[in-house]
A and B are shown apart, each in its own frame.
Chain A
Amino acid sequence: MAEERKEDWWKDKAWITQYLFKGEEPTAFDLLGAFVCNIVMGSPEAILIAGNMPPRLIHFVVNHPKRGSESIVLMMTPVAVFEGEPEEEPDLGLEIDYYKFAAMLGGKEDVMDMVWSGEVTMSGNTVVGMDLKDLLDASIGKEIIERPAAWTIGVP
């Protein structure tokens, strides 16, 4: 995560710069958009996993130390990202620091580990958190944890 705190950190990240102009530090929305377009879409495993999930609505509240908090929504199956509060009740709410968010999307931090350490506040359906972890893991080519039958991929 230290990497993400450096000045102009995003300029070295191909997955971000391919999607964005380099001038301004990207917003969380930009990051999520870049992640979906450049990483998820590029990974057949991630697409396969996302395809097996029921519809999911994840609400991120990303806190930037200077810009304040930003609200973004990730919808899965099919994937969509938009800014603002969701109109419907989200399946999962995550409150996360901006730089941790960037590290998580970059594959440097594990979302569930951050939950257990208290760095991420998670509320809602924990199964969706596991779905998100699988999606993140699959997109960076990490092996997916085989889930117990009760909470297997696709279970609401």
Chain B
Amino acid sequence: MAEKTKSEYVPNIYPGKDTVSARRKKLWDKSRPLLKYRSIAEDDITQLLSHRAVRSAYVSVHPPLEELIEPYDPIKHIVVPTPGTRAGDRIRFIQMSDSFHLPSIAPFGRQRLYFSRFRGIDTVVYSGREILEMRERDLEKATKMLLETEIFNPGRSALKGITVHGHSLRLDENGLMFDARRRYIYDKDSGEVVYIKDQMGNVLDVPVPVGPPLSEEDCKKLCLTYSWDTQPYKARTELFEMMSRSTKMRVMAGFNPEMINESM
């Protein structure tokens, strides 16, 4: 294959010059690594996901790709399979919910981050939750990143495989997002948030600590949503300009793409 010519185009990723826009630009840019805030053992992640017993073999839904004789398909030569696909893993999920109050990531933020940083995914975005489906071993790897880096605030983001309700509620006395299944609690002795149940709400044999909740100051610093007390949304001129233009283009040029021009 001919060597790729480097494009001069540098995507802007997101409009605006404020700190929240800068956060969005960072999180959705796969060339910029995310800061690691904590370490969570792989076995703990397996437990939290609750799809297989710790250290058990992965369940396969088809033989490894190497053993499969498939009809010729040029796309298969171009797309390199992920490790999970190569091994024939099942597709499993992680579902996460993020608080409405100064979250370090929010559902559409997750969706865009997942699309830009992961491969072989299916994701559904919703008001209070975001589900991510991947081949099992790929999912575990992705989960590690989701829980260990700056996008996870143990107090205001949570694994909620079921009963996701609570993102919009006020926080509890310890500043944690509401969870009707009480999967996680605040351990006053260690100052950490501890998962006592897995994402489906089944009690864990051994609790899994996921680190202390971020301070109010850090929440504001890492917040991915505009808010009156961080970056007021109404002052985001460039973003409003972009939204207004895209809306206008959809309406006016949706059936007439030839109408699109610079003055729109």
Direct contact of A and B (CB under 8 A): yes
Cβ–Cβ contact A123 & B232, under 8 A: no
Q: Could you tell me the distance between the alpha carbons of A91 and B237 in the complex, rounded to whole angstroms?
A: 6
A90 — nearest CB in chain B belongs to which residue? B237
CB interface residues, A 129-156, toward B, < 8 Å: 156
Cβ–Cβ contact B234 & A89, under 8 A: no
B17 CB contacts on chain A under 8 angstroms: 88-89
Cβ–Cβ contact A125 & B244, under 8 A: no
B232 CB contacts on chain A under 8 angstroms: 156
Q: Taking beta carbons and an 8 Å cutoff, which residues of B are in contact with A?
A: 16-18, 232, 234-238, 240-241, 244
Cβ–Cβ contact A124 & B240, under 8 A: yes
CB distance from B117 to the nearest CB of A (A): 27
CB interface residues, A 104-129, toward B, < 8 Å: 123-127
- State how many residues of chain A have any CB contact under 8 Å with chain B: 12
Greatest chain A CB density within 10 A among B17, B236, B237 is at: B237
Cβ–Cβ contact A125 & B16, under 8 A: no
A125 CB contacts on chain B under 8 angstroms: 234-235, 237
* A93 interfacial by beta-carbon distance below 8 Å: yes
- Pick the contact of A91 from B16, B235, B241, B244 — CB < 8 Å? B235
B18 CB contacts on chain A under 8 angstroms: 89
CB distance from B51 to the nearest CB of A (A): 45
Cβ–Cβ contact A123 & B235, under 8 A: no
Q: Could you tell me the distance between the alpha carbons of A92 and B236 in the complex, rounded to whole angstroms?
A: 9
Q: Could you tell me the distance between the alpha carbons of A92 and B240 in the complex, rounded to whole angstroms?
A: 11
Q: Could you tell me the distance between the alpha carbons of A93 and B241 in the complex, rounded to whole angstroms?
A: 9
Q: Could you tell me the distance between the alpha carbons of A124 and B242 in the complex, rounded to whole angstroms?
A: 11
Q: Could you tell me the distance between the alpha carbons of A90 and B235 in the complex, rounded to whole angstroms?
A: 8
B238 CB contacts on chain A under 8 angstroms: 89
Q: Could you tell me the distance between the alpha carbons of A125 and B234 in the complex, rounded to whole angstroms?
A: 5
Given contacts A88-B17, A89-B16, A89-B17, contact A123 B234 (CB under 8 A): no
Cβ–Cβ contact B237 & A92, under 8 A: yes
Q: Could you tell me the distance between the alpha carbons of A156 and B234 in the complex, rounded to whole angstroms?
A: 8
CB distance from A20 to the nearest CB of B (A): 30
Q: Could you tell me the distance between the alpha carbons of A89 and B235 in the complex, rounded to whole angstroms?
A: 8
B241 CB contacts on chain A under 8 angstroms: 93, 123-124
Cβ–Cβ contact B237 & A93, under 8 A: yes
A156 CB contacts on chain B under 8 angstroms: 232, 234-235
- Which 8 residue pairs of A and B lie closest in terms of their CB atoms, listed nearest first? A124-B237, A89-B17, A125-B234, A125-B235, A123-B241, A91-B235, A89-B238, A90-B237
